[in-house]
Amino acid sequence: MFSFITWTAHPVIFQIGWFSLRWYALMFIVGFAIGVHLMEKYYKLDGKDPERVYTLFLYCFVGTIVGARLGHCLFYDPAYYLSHPLEILQTWKGGLASHGGTLGVFLAVLLYAKKDKLPSLFVLDRLGIAVAPVAALIRVGNLFNHEIYGHETTLPWGFRFITNIGAYEAGREPVFTPPCHPTQIYEALCYLAVFFINAWLYKKYDAGKRPGLLLGSFFTLVFGSRFCIEFIKNVQEDFEEGMALDMGQLLSIPFILAGIWLIVRALNRPKVQEFVRK
């Protein structure tokens, strides 16, 4: 029985000149490809033209990147980025926040819905299934980046992560943490569970015909699990030290409450048979 896992994975898959392909970027790309495939599938099941998904993808991709970057800058270090606004554009330096990315996608869908003949909740509900595997793969990317891991642990699946990852990428010897909770894996497994739960609700209980139900389930389960896992995760910024709830938990609460409201609202309304924007 192993006592811990020494994680020596390199963040870069390969590099040719100035170009490098990182595991994080690959997980992002693969995740979005899976998400597009799933959205095509659900559009077909609901008798809608799957070609619409490609325009939706562009909106969601931009919404994710812009929202996640602004979320990181404004939620976690607003004073610095507001005084150095050009650095907000420097996404290659890292710093994407999932809460901001979620808000970005939500707003992107609202804009997209104005050009579509479908109600926004129709799209958002199906994204509540398709986005969960994307989120899971992004956490796998975080695992390869040796980031957002948890507190020290004596559990046999504790990971020793590299702390000097920049120096390690430059060819130096790695410096390891003590065995820590691999919270990236915990979150990835939770998000995969959300995918299977929402896909099951869609298939077995016709949840797609109750506007807001799948979105509410996504918000409640994803951000509820995130809220719980944050208790064993290291804080992302120094200002979070000593806080009863860290920033990730505080930002999760509105999504959890919104999710519960959406579920209650959906269950107290009749099923919708035809999806048209009013």
So where are the chain's domains?
A: 5-267
Average pLDDT score over the chain? 92
**Following CA atoms 12, 13, 15, 18 in sequence, which dihedral angle do they give, to the nearest 10 degrees?**
-50
Token code pair at residue 148: 């957002």
| Rounded Cα–Cα distance for residues 241 and 237 (Å) | 8
215-248 pLDDT, tens digit each: 999 999 999 999 999 999 998 887 888 889 999 9
Residue 1 has pLDDT above 60, yes or no: no
Q: What is the pLDDT of residue 2?
A: 61
| Rounded Cα–Cα distance for residues 129 and 259 (Å) | 14
Q: What is the pLDDT of residue 245?
A: 93
- Taking CB atoms within 8 Å and a gap of at least 24, the contacts of 63-66 are 63/101, 63/104, 63/105, 63/106, 63/107, 63/108, 63/109, 64/101, 64/104, 64/105, 64/108, 65/91, 65/96, 65/101, 65/104, 66/104
The three-state secondary structure class of 182 is coil
Question: Looking at residues 59-65, what average pLDDT do you find?
Answer: 92
Least confident of 1-10, 143-152, 164-173, 189-198: 1-10
Residue 91 has pLDDT above 90, yes or no: no
Spatial neighbors of 1 by CB under 8 A, at least 6 apart, are 156
131-151 pLDDT, tens digit each: 999 999 999 999 999 999 999
Residue 152 near residue 178 (C-beta atoms within 8 A): yes
Residue 277 has pLDDT above 60, yes or no: no
| Rounded Cα–Cα distance for residues 102 and 77 (Å) | 19
Least confident of 47-61, 67-81, 89-103, 138-152: 89-103
Residue 117 has pLDDT above 90, yes or no: no
- Look-up: residue for tokens 């033209």? 49
Alpha helices for 10-158 (secondary structure H): 23-45, 52-76, 78-83, 98-113, 120-144
| Rounded Cα–Cα distance for residues 98 and 72 (Å) | 8
Residue 258 has pLDDT above 70, yes or no: yes
- Helix (H) / strand (E) containing 237: none
**pTM for the complete prediction?**
0.92
Question: Looking at residues 157-172, what average pLDDT do you find?
Answer: 94
| Rounded Cα–Cα distance for residues 205 and 210 (Å) | 10
Residue 130 has pLDDT above 70, yes or no: yes
- The number of residues making up the chain comes to 278
Q: What is the pLDDT of residue 123?
A: 95
27-56 pLDDT, tens digit each: 999 999 999 999 999 999 999 999 999 999
Question: Looking at residues 76-96, what average pLDDT do you find?
Answer: 80
pLDDT tier at 278 (50, 70, 90 boundaries)?
Answer: very low
